[in-house]
Amino acid sequence: MATTVAHTAHRSTDTLTWVAFWLMVIGGINWGLVGFFDFDLVAAIFGTGSAAARVVYAIVGLCTLYCAFAIPALHRRMTTAVT
């Protein structure tokens, strides 16, 4: 039973990490569009300064912070498991 709970928790953490990672990539692409073409895709979809655009920016920012801590920890865990 404990193994099943641990396995489910591990899988849900992996899912969260992948979702956060891909949202971070999407945010990076949006910043690339802003930098290279002066085009903000989020603002174009949701409206400049709208509440929805701010929510999207906040979620991407939180995902980036999560990845900043989760990905190095995941790397350490994988490196330890291999050796």
Output the CA–CA distances (angstroms, integers) from residue 14 to 17, 18, 33, 41, 43, in the order listed: 5, 6, 29, 28, 30
Domain locations in the chain as residue ranges: 16-82
More confident residue, 65 or 10: 65
Judge contact between 65 and 21, C-beta under 8 A.
Answer: no
Q: pTM of the prediction?
A: 0.71
What mean pLDDT is predicted for residues 28-33?
A: 96
Task: Supply 60's token pair.
Answer: 């991407």
pLDDT in tens, 39-81: 999 999 999 999 999 999 999 999 999 988 888 877 777 777 6
56 Cβ contact list (under 8 Å, min separation 6): 42, 46
Secondary structure class of 39 (helix, strand, coil): coil
33 has pLDDT over 90:
yes
